[in-house]
């Protein structure tokens, strides 16, 4: 779950709905910027499905007593999160081994600096998955795999940028610190060799510079605004399920 708190409510976005935006971002990406158009459909699938492991977790939101807010993707208890990451990766691999490779690399990057024993066990198992899949794919182009991995990361980050980690329309100085200086590791995705820098033009329009897409395009985001009053009266799970599903529409524009 992606969470943004206001004085009277929590904006809540399902991870799989966030992932749909990631897929749309990759679908509109300019393939001519990549080393090859090979396997691009699998990259799209990876972006659309990368958070499918969260489907079960997000079905029933749970409350974080310490922070007094719903658990989000960033603070969700580690063991169930790792278990559902594996479930999601197994399901992705049933359809596309290459997409599972990219998603596995993506998840491993979250824990690359961790010394936690459970994280290390997760990394070990996923690296074995990655090596097995690479062994099954003929003539693996490691440079292209890395570029596809960076594209998946970019799509995830741009989607998070849109998914209320920022107030829509926020000025650069008020953006989430993850994004103020641009999206990390994106310089290999464009001929300019520059980091992609996002910016809100207004509450409904965003630009990315340099512009990496085929054309300008619309996106729509599903979310719920759950009032703190209802949470206090009904509990987080019931309050979430009875809140109205809303949709926010915006455009990705050229600089």
Q: For 90-142, what is each residue's pLDDT tens digit?
A: 999 999 999 999 999 999 999 999 999 999 999 999 999 999 999 998 888 99
d(CA 75, CA 15): 14
For residue 53, pLDDT beyond 90: yes
CB 49 within 8 A of CB 103: yes
Taking each continuous run of H as one helix and of E as one strand, the counts in the chain are: 9, 8
Residue 83 confidence (pLDDT): 97
pLDDT band at 246 (very low <50, low <70, confident <90, very high): very high
For residue 35, pLDDT beyond 90: yes
d(CA 99, CA 88): 11
Residue 165 confidence (pLDDT): 63
Torsion of CA 225, 157, 29, 203, to 10 degrees: 40
Mean pLDDT over each residue of the chain, to the nearest integer: 95
Give 155-201 pLDDT, tens digit per residue.
999 999 998 766 777 777 777 778 888 999 999 998 888 999 999 99
Predicted TM-score (pTM) of this structure: 0.95
Mean pLDDT of 23-27: 99
Name the residue range of residue 8's domain: 2-253
CB 186 within 8 A of CB 195: yes
How many residues in total does the chain contain? 255
CB 11 within 8 A of CB 225: yes
For residue 219, pLDDT beyond 70: yes
Domain count, the chain: 1
| Percentage, residues of the chain above pLDDT 90 | 89
Task: Compute CA 244 distance to the chain's CA centroid, rounded to the nearest angstrom.
Answer: 23
Burial category of 96 from C-beta neighbours within 10 Å (exposed 0-12, middle 13-18, buried 19 and up) = buried
DSSP code for 244: P
Residue 169 confidence (pLDDT): 74
Mean pLDDT of 30-50: 97
């Amino acid at each position: 779950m992606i969470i943004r708190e206001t004085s009277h409510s929590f904006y809540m976005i399902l991870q799989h709905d966030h992932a749909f935006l990631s897929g749309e971002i990759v679908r509109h990406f300019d393939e001519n910027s990549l080393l090859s158009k090979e396997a691009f459909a699998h990259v799209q699938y990876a972006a659309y499905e990368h958070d499918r492991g969260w489907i079960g977790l997000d079905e029933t939101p749970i409350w974080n007593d310490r922070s007094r807010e719903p658990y989000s993707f960033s603070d969700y208890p580690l063991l169930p999160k790792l278990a559902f990451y594996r479930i999601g990766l197994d399901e992705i691999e049933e359809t596309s081994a290459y997409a599972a490779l990219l998603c596995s690399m993506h998840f491993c990057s979250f824990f690359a600096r961790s010394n936690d024993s459970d994280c290390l066990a997760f990394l070990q198992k996923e690296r074995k998955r990655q090596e097995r899949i690479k062994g099954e794919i003929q003539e693996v182009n490691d440079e292209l795999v890395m570029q596809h991995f960076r594209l998946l990361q970019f799509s995830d980050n741009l989607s998070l940028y849109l998914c209320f980690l920022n107030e829509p329309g926020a000025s650069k100085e008020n953006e989430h610190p993850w994004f103020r200086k641009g999206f990390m590791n994106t310089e290999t995705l464009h001929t300019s060799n520059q980091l992609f820098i996002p910016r809100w033009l207004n509450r409904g329009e965003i630009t990315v510079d340099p512009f990496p897409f085929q054309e300008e395009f619309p996106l729509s985001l599903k979310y719920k605004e759950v009032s703190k009053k209802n949470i206090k009266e009904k509990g987080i799970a019931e309050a979430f399920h009875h809140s109205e599903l809303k949709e926010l529409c915006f455009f990705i524009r050229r600089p």
